[in-house]
Structure 1
């Protein structure tokens, strides 16, 4: 029998996105199963929206470290490493479970150091929500981060990937960890908001007519999301369809320079049917407004926006990257296009506009309900923790 059930969970920041929701649902759900979770997190970057409120509303026990930031700083990172180490000393968790790359590095180094200095065996787990081995940094940096992950993988009791495709990438392509310490645990999402979609509020606020169709891209604005492809596709679409019965929306925000660059590109391309809606915190509001979801990313884990769109009955077109093909398998639950395929994206818009999408909508709804519940996520992690501690 396990006497103590303490978990120190570490994530770089609680910015808008899937990982912040994931750790909040997970921490809250595991608390109800008898675990004592402490969520350690850092500062969001300037112009990122903070989802700290989401975790607090769920009653999650939280510790914020100002030294924890996404950007690399030797001084702050060393300070953060020391602060996590001191928290481990104070809380004495059975498990340190890290999420996202930066937190995975600092949190695991702190736990490894504690195990060595205290001759204890805290179990160490890391979840890959995505990875930084391609598309984020220069090639030398990517090689360095991959080497670090390979080393840390040797000290991790479990490496969690969130899809079959990601499992193959991390283990087989990038050689991180070994089969015995890998486990696939699918994300869990709360889809209850999809039962109360606000069908007209978003359109009314942004002055979009009822007979206009809306293609929306949801998520933070960052180079890896490749919003440039989205803009190019709108320009090409508009050259073919001049009636302006279709509107495009970017829901999310990012660094001011990136946003300004996209707005300039929008002007240069002569696009007048694109709305920058900024960050929106109420999914019932913005998913209630859009007709189709677009994802143009260069790299992804398992995008929560796709799962949320599935639950809402919104057809999806996405680039074939990361864990996306596990969701939209053989175009059964949406449309997949090759990464960077401008013509394919425009063709997908036309296909979704003219075809009956009932079959893919129904298949997608059934799939997300059966495979991505928060209950299933919490049960899977609870079982994993108990098995590890009983080894």
Structure 2
């Protein structure tokens, strides 16, 4: 069996998912090739990378039999790239999986032209398996295509470091874009009554974020770490007091799973697959997207209360649903089923 993984190599959730499969030996008993299809490093570089990916894929499809092509897809350009890769696979009569990660795929579909919607539905119905991250996404795909697709959660193997938490430390891990709610978070801090220090980890609209920090006179209360590596991320998840991700759209973010594993109380929004995992006052805390004042109240509550029961519930849910010991056997079974059909 030769598995070909196709997806972005840009830092973020999809890249960490693919690398996690490699690091946790999903492919140890198989031949595996990872092909980067996008890097977010400028249009010229991304076009070059895409063309190179097509050439590599055709070469591998021509030389190998018993091939399974695993496409990691989000939306927009990612959809069209994966459509082309699936068509190439069909020319060579190879098996295909499309694995949907895109948090804005529902909006992308809803705002698409009738012809593009037909292409999307065609792709869903003509791959050997279409995989989503949560039951809510399964319902959405079923509603638009009539196909009941597979649900396999993301996972991460991570543990809290043996260090004490520092009081009043708020942690944000994610892209610096409006969809992640970073601007709402900064505005909410003006209404937080507790002492706090915010740690921002990520990148994107750096200048806009810094301008708002300046405007709100928050420079002394915010540390911008930029992108952090796995070790730095684990340390921050282990020592900060609360993790917050006030997104407008999500699938099921890897960082939510990481936060559950690292036993830090979570404030987030009931979007995408998140409310299947984060339940108010049980495994975390929820606030509606864009509700700045409500966000401030939640931050005050979590920073000033004992969250041990919520933390324990979240850790238990993580161990039951989101560790490699639970998820990787599901991928093994899916690969075997597809290749034996």
TM-score interval, smaller chain: 0.7 to 0.9
User: C-alpha separation between the residues in 1 aligned to 2:59 and 2:78?
Assistant: 15
Once the two structures are superposed, residues 212-268 of structure 1 have per-residue CA deviations (whole angstroms, 9 ceiling, x without a partner) of 41111112223321211111111232xxx2xx72111211122xxx11111111111
8 Å Cα contact 2:201/2:228 also seen in 1: yes
1:178 corresponds, among 144, 147, 153, to 147
Cα–Cα, structure 1 residues 150 and 374, in superposed 2: closer, same or farther, change >3 Å? Answer: same
Is 1:95 the counterpart of 2:65? The answer is no
Aligned residues: 335
1:30 corresponds, among 12, 26, 29, to 26
2:292 corresponds, among 342, 353, 362, to 342
2:238 corresponds, among 275, 288, 297, to 288
User: C-alpha separation between the residues in 1 aligned to 2:49 and 2:34?
Assistant: 19
1:164 corresponds, among 116, 135, 147, to 135
Which residues of structure 2 form unaligned runs of 5+? Answer: none
For 2:176, the equivalent position in structure 1 comes to 221
For 1:13, the equivalent position in structure 2 comes to 9
Once the two structures are superposed, residues 22-70 of structure 1 have per-residue CA deviations (whole angstroms, 9 ceiling, x without a partner) of 21232452223x22111111453349xxxxxxxxxxxxxxxxxx9873x
SS in 2 for 1:31: coil
For 2:279, the equivalent position in structure 1 comes to 329
Deviation at 1:300, TM superposition (A): 0.9
SS in 2 for 1:253: coil
Alignment of 1:88-167 (within 5 A): 88-101=61-74, 102-103=77-78, 105-116=80-91, 118=92, 120=93, 122-133=94-105, 146-167=117-138
For 2:35, the equivalent position in structure 1 comes to 40
Is 1:302 the counterpart of 2:252? The answer is yes
SS in 2 for 1:26: helix
* TM-score, normalised relative to structure 1: 0.77
Which residues of structure 1 form unaligned runs of 5+? Answer: 48-65, 201-209
Cα–Cα, structure 1 residues 377 and 146, in superposed 2: closer, same or farther, change >3 Å? Answer: farther
SS in 1 for 2:239: coil
8 Å Cα contact 2:4/2:70 also seen in 1: yes
8 Å Cα contact 1:127/1:160 also seen in 2: yes
User: C-alpha separation between the residues in 2 aligned to 1:92 and 1:27?
Assistant: 22
Deviation at 1:144, TM superposition (A): 7.0
Deviation at 1:278, TM superposition (A): 1.1
* TM-score, normalised relative to structure 2: 0.88
For 1:203, the equivalent position in structure 2 comes to none
User: C-alpha separation between the residues in 1 aligned to 2:116 and 2:303?
Assistant: 42
User: C-alpha separation between the residues in 2 aligned to 1:246 and 1:264?
Assistant: 20
